[in-house]
Amino acid sequence: KNQVEQSPQSLIILEGKNCTLQCNYTVSPFSNLRWYKQDTGRGPVSLTIMTFSENTKSNGRYTATLDADTKQSSLHITASQLSDSASYICVVTLQTGANNLFFGTGTRLTVIP
């Protein structure tokens, strides 16, 4: 069964600290993996996309990694800011099929001063 699991469900960190969010998936055949950021009361916004051949990709203070062999991805946030408080959603795309996106339930990150 195609599934995407994220951990932890929620996380509280101090401003300025780093954190890592995890995404494990069983989706196959894999096409790509995307991380979205969802602020409270808003729609998700794409942060980064990882394709099969990519191991690491950065977007400012956000760095995503992908291990296609173990079917794991992580999102590392460096020097967190209050504005990083949001839900982070992992979405995996199948290579085929009409309904080919699989969403994780998200990690709720709270950055406190």
Partner 1 sequence: NAGVTQTPKFQVLKTGQSMTLQCAQDMNHNSMYWYRQDPGMGLRLIYYSASEGTTDKGEVPNGYNVSRLNKREFSLRLESAAPSQTSVYFCASSGDRSYNSPLHFGNGTRLTVT
Residues in contact with partner 1 by the rule CB under 8 A:
4, 31-32, 34, 36, 41-46, 49, 51, 89, 93, 95, 98-106
Report helix, strand or coil for 11.
Answer: strand
Distance of CA 25 to the CA centre of its chain: 11
By C-beta, is 19 or 106 nearer to partner 1?
106
Among 52, 59, 53, smallest CA distance to 75 is for 59
| Least distance to partner 1, CB of residue 44, Å | 5
By C-beta, is 13 or 49 nearer to partner 1?
49
By C-beta, is 44 or 80 nearer to partner 1?
44
By C-beta, is 10 or 81 nearer to partner 1?
10
| Least distance to partner 1, CB of residue 67, Å | 19
DSSP code per residue over 38-91: E-TTS--EEEEEEETT-SEEEETTEEEEEETTTTEEEEEE-S--GGG-EEEEEE
Sole residue written with tokens 């969802």: 38
| Least distance to partner 1, CB of residue 40, Å | 11
